[in-house]
A and B are shown apart, each in its own frame.
Chain A
Amino acid sequence: EAQVTQNPRYLITVTGKKLTVTCSQNMNHEYMSWYRQDPGLGLRQIYYSMNVEVTDKGDVPEGYKVSRKEKRNFPLILESPSPNQTSLYFCASSPQTSTDTQYFGPGTRLTVL
């Protein structure tokens, strides 16, 4: 089944404890992206990747890192999480650019205490 998977789905952590949210897609898509969703703010893009080893900042990159060593994986790293990073995170992929239909993962709900 064609899909985008994210792990973990739920995570409660404490300030400053490094964490990684994994994202994987099995559709051979070149484009991948991370978003955060907050009430009243819609989706805001954190980082995106047009292809392997190519990543760019989105609208809200501060406090996040990403890497794209393989086409299928695009992990999101929070080196030192803070409470303002408590949010719902979505990974998405599409065949080429963001103008293609994007396929979203199920989301990761992160709480930073």
Chain B
Amino acid sequence: AQSVAQPEDQVNVAEGNPLTVKCTYSVSGNPYLFWYVQYPNRGLQFLLKYITGDNLVKGSYGFEAEFNKSQTSFHLKKPSALVSDSALYFCAVRDPHSNYQLIWGAGTKLIIKP
């Protein structure tokens, strides 16, 4: 079955330190992968996506993600965390067997402490 896993419910990082939010997927065929962010009391906002090409994808607000086919992962990273990065982060993957709808991870709450 197609699925997306975000193994950490919450990630705590000190401001200025690098951050990683993990995502692994299970989908047949070539995956289309996405990261979205949800700030408190707001809708989701697109951060970045991998469709094809360079495995390192750069997105909004200084975030990047690395597609690793052998490990079926698409971890979100940022070199230096800001307090304003505190939010809920969702990973999603296209499901080629369900009319290409997105399968969403459960979300990871990122807390950046000053």
Contacts and interface: CB of A to CB of B under 8 A. Distances in A.
Contact of B99 (A56, A101, A105): A56
A95 interface: no
Contacts, number: 51
Contacts of B36: 102, 104
Interface string A74-106: 000000000000000010100001110111111
Interface residues of B, number: 23
Contact of B43 (A4, A42, A44, A58): A4
A98 B90 contact: no
A106 B42 contact: yes
A97 to B, nearest CB: 6
A2 interface: no
B43 A104 contact: yes
Given A56-B99, A97-B100, A98-B100, A90 B94 contact: no
Interface of A: 4, 33, 40-45, 48, 56, 58, 90, 92, 97-99, 101-107
Interface of B: 9, 32, 34, 36, 41-46, 49, 51, 90, 92, 94, 99-102, 104-107
